[in-house]
Amino acid sequence: MSIIHLGALDWGIIAAVLVFIIGTGLVLSRRAEKDSAAFFLGSRAMPWWLLGTSMVATTFATDTPNLVTGLVRQNGVAANWSWWAFLITGMLTAFIYARLWRRLGVTTDIAFYELRYAGRPAAFLRGFRAIYLGLFFNVLVMANVTLALVKYGNVLFGLSPLLIVAVAGLATVLLSASGGLLGVLVTDFFLFLISMAGAVAAAWFALHHDGVGGLHGLMLHSAVLDKRPVLPDFSDPNQYVPLFLVPLLLQWWSAWYPGAEPGGGGYVAQRMLAARDERNATGAVVLFNIAHYALRPWPWIIVALASLVVFPDLASLKAALPHVDAALIQDDLAYPAMLTLLPAGFIGLAVASILAAYISTISTMLNLGSAYLVNDVYSRFLRPRASERDKVRAGQAATVLLMVLAAVLALALQSAMQAFRLLLAVGAGTGLLFFLRWFWGRINAWSEIAAMVFSLLAAAGLELFAPASLQTWQRFALTVALTTAGWLAVTLLTPPTPAAKLAAFRAHIAKEGVPASAGLKRHVLSATIATLGVYALLFAIGAALYEHGLLAAFLGLGALAAGAAVWRLSRHSL
C-alpha cells in the first residue's frame, strides 16, 4: 500500500466543504460584527439543537477516531470507559448547572470569578485563568489537533505539512474571524453531518473488506473476540481497576477535562451562555451528551475492531504504510490506514470529514480563546472603556494570533501529547471544587488558587519523582487526594467570601426569588436517570451490532423509559 492519490471527485468534495466554510463566515460577518455579544455569543439567542450539535462537532476532533482506535486495539472496547465515565459529569451539568450559567448573563465562564468572589484574589483568578486557558492551554490543544491533521495528510497523501496547516488554518481563521460564534455554530451543524457520514462510510467499507466478512464475520473473528466486551475482565484487577473503577468512582468528579468540566466550563459554558433561555441551555447539553456518548462512538469502534483483522499488529501496519517513519507506527494509525480501503469519492468524503472535524474543533477554540483574551484581559484590565467595535476588532486580531501560534507549534513538534497529559493531570483534584462552589458559601477565591497550586505541585512532583512502579492511575489518585485535601484545608483556614458579595451572587443565580438550591434533589435524580438512559442507549446500539437482538430491544426500551421519566421530572422545574 502506498500514498493515496486523490481523484477529481475527491478533490471536488474537499473543495466544496472549504468553500462552504469560508462562504458561511463571510455571509454572517455583518451580523457577527454588530457587537461583542453577537461576535462571542451569537447575541444570546441560539436554540438548543444548534448549540448541542455544535458541542458534539467540537468534540469530534481530528485525533479522536485515532484515540478510540488505539484504546480498542490495546485494551478492547472496555477501555472507552476512560471517557464514557464523563457522561455523569455532563448530565449533572445539564440538569443543575446549565440554568445557573444562563442566569449569570456573562460573556465567558471566567467572569464567574468576580461575581462569586471579592477583591484582588478574584481579579487575579480571572486574569490568570484567562491567559492560561485562552492562550497557553488553548494553543497547546490546537497545536495537538493540528498535528493530528498534519499526520493524516502527510501519512496518507504525502502532502506538505506547511501546505496542510496553511489551507486548513486559513479556512478556519476566515470562518472564526468573520462569522464569530454564529458562523461557528452554523457550520458546525453541517460539519457534524459530514463528519458522521465519513465515519459511517469508513465503518461500512471496513466491514465489507474481504478479510472481515461483514458484521457477522467480524464479531466471530478470533482477533476480535477478546476485544469485544464493553466491560473489563473482573477477574483481573489490572484490567477492571484502571479501565472501569477509577473512571467511574474517581475520575468523573475529580478531573478537569476539556468538554467535560465539572459543573460546565470552556466551550460548553459558552454554548450555555449563548442559549436564548434556560430551557435551551439545558436541552443543548442533554443533546450533546446523547450524541457524544451514545450515537457517535460505534462507527469508530467498528473500524477499530475491523483493523485488528486487516492489520493485526504493528508490523502489518508498517508493511501497509512503508513511507511512514517507523517511530510513528502506533496502534492509533490503524484508523487512517483503514481509510485507504475506501473507493474514489468516499476517500474524498473521509478526508472532508477529517477536515470538518478539524475546523469544527479549531474554530470553537479560536472563538473561545479570543473571548477570554478580549473580555477577561483586554477590556477588563487593559482598556476598560473599549467600545463594542474595539472588542470585536480585538477578538478578530486574537483569533489570527492564536491560529498562527498553534500552527507554528504544530510544525515544530513531533508530539504534543506528553505536555498535554501533564496539563490534564494539573486539573486532577479540582473537580469537586467546581461542583461545590455554586452552593457551598465557605469556598472562597483562595480555595481556587490553592486548588491550582496543589494540583500543579502534586502532578509535577509525581511526574518527576514518583517511582517507576507507580502506575498512571495510582499517580492520578494521589494527585486527586493531595489536591482535594489541600484546597479543603485552605478553605477552612481562610476567611469566607464577604457575606454581602455572597448574597449578591446568590440573588444573581436565583429565579424570581427562589434560591438556586431549590429542587436540587429533583435535578440530581433527573441527571442520574438520564445518565442511565444514555448508557442504555449506548449499549443497546452495541448489542444490536453484536447481534444480540433481545438484549438490544430490552436496553432500548430502558432508554425510552428513562427519557420519559426525565421529561416528567424536569418539565415543571426548568
CA 538 – CA 556 distance, rounded (Å): 9
Phi-psi bin for 445: left (phi > 0), alpha (psi -120 to 50), beta?
alpha
CA 562 – CA 434 distance, rounded (Å): 27
CA 125 – CA 114 distance, rounded (Å): 8
**Does residue 419 register a pLDDT over 60?**
no
CA 137 – CA 373 distance, rounded (Å): 13
Other Cβ atoms within 10 Å of 516 Cβ, number: 20
CA distances to 157, 167, 273 from 160, rounded to whole Å, are 9, 11, 39
**Residue 460: what pLDDT?**
81
**Does residue 456 register a pLDDT over 70?**
yes
**Does residue 423 register a pLDDT over 70?**
no
Q: 511: Cβ–Cβ under 8 A, 6 or more apart, which residues?
A: 99, 103
CA distances to 104, 263, 281 from 46, rounded to whole Å, are 16, 21, 9
Structure confidence by residue, pLDDT tens digits, 503-519? 999 999 998 888 988 88
**Residue 358: what pLDDT?**
85
Q: Which three cell numbers stand for residue 195?
A: 463528519
Residue 410's pLDDT band (boundaries 50, 70, 90)?
Answer: confident
344: phi then psi, degrees, rounded to nearest 5: -55, 145
**pLDDT (average), residues 352-378:** 89
Phi-psi bin for 61: left (phi > 0), alpha (psi -120 to 50), beta?
beta
Q: Which three cell numbers stand for residue 95?
A: 440538569
DSSP 234-284: TT-HHHHIIIIIHIIIIIHHH---TT--TT--HHHHHHHHHBSSHHHHHHH
* CATH code for the structural domain at 8-415: 1.20.1730.10
Strand, coil or helix: 414: coil
Structure confidence by residue, pLDDT tens digits, 378-394? 999 999 999 988 998 99
**Residue 305: what pLDDT?**
96
**Amino acid present at 60:** F
Structure confidence by residue, pLDDT tens digits, 190-205? 888 888 888 899 999 9
CA 11 – CA 159 distance, rounded (Å): 13
Q: 460: Cβ–Cβ under 8 A, 6 or more apart, which residues?
A: 422, 426
Nearest residue to 182 (alpha-carbon basis) of 285, 37, 284, 288: 37
**Residue 144: what pLDDT?**
81
**Amino acid present at 292:** H
DSSP 271-298: HHHHBSSHHHHHHHHHHHHIIIIIISHH
Strand, coil or helix: 365: helix
**pLDDT (average), residues 174-189:** 84
**Amino acid present at 124:** F
**Residue 485: what pLDDT?**
96
Residue 327's pLDDT band (boundaries 50, 70, 90)?
Answer: low
